[in-house]
Amino acid sequence: MTTPSSRAWFITGTDTEIGKTFASCALIHAARARGWQAVGMKPVAAGAEWVDGVLANDDALRLRAAGSVDPGLALLNPYCLKSPVAPHIAAAEEGVTISSRHILDSFARLREQADCVFVEGVGGFRVPLDDTYDTADLACDFGLPVILVVGMRLGCINHALLTVEAIRARRLTLAGWVANQVAPDMLRPNENLEALRSRIGAPLLGVLPYVASGDAAAAAQYLGLPD
């Protein structure tokens, strides 16, 4: 087993708006419950407002609040784009060039401040960041084990299995997956869960119940962490 100081994971999702940040924050709290210093990272975020004179994305702020230490938004969220649209569109409109080198340098500095780092991608697994580079490429550059967040709703089986194929096609390790119940009125949730469990071929780290309050600290009790 690796030591806590070497622990880091790349967190991706089956789609946008499936509770990836909620799950990421819950994983951070689960790590903290083990006594580890844990922080989150959001390399690229699109959709932000000015907060106390700083352009800030809500997901990044939630990750910042969940962490054991506050590394500052510049490290936690190296690229914060104002427009709430696809990142490559927002970056082009705002004259921003997204550099993987800058992201990886920021990540290296984060690892010096904590026992483990949870790197949350943007949207699903293959979101363009410019004309030739997407979040799957970014995950490969990180080279970290991947945790997949599955938004439990109609269509989740297809989305999850396609994402699993894409992750493995890039020879990345799928360390585990989280089932997040984003649709409280979903029909046959248990049957969908079992269909995924039998097909994904990676550990189910936990099932997050629907939590209207978004209390990630309370949700941490439902999660384990990868070995």
Give which of 138, 43, 44 is closest to 85, Cα–Cα.
44
Q: H or E element: which one contains 195?
A: helix 189-200
Q: H or E element: which one contains 167?
A: helix 156-169
Give, in order, the Cα–Cα distances in Å from 135 to each of 8, 45, 87, 140: 17, 12, 10, 9
DSSP 52-66: TTEEE-HHHHHHHHH
Dihedral sign, Cα of residue 157, residue 62, residue 11, residue 44: positive
Pairing mode, strands 54-56 and 49-51: antiparallel
Catalytic residue annotation:
42
150 burial (CB, 10 Å; 0-12 / 13-18 / 19+) is: buried
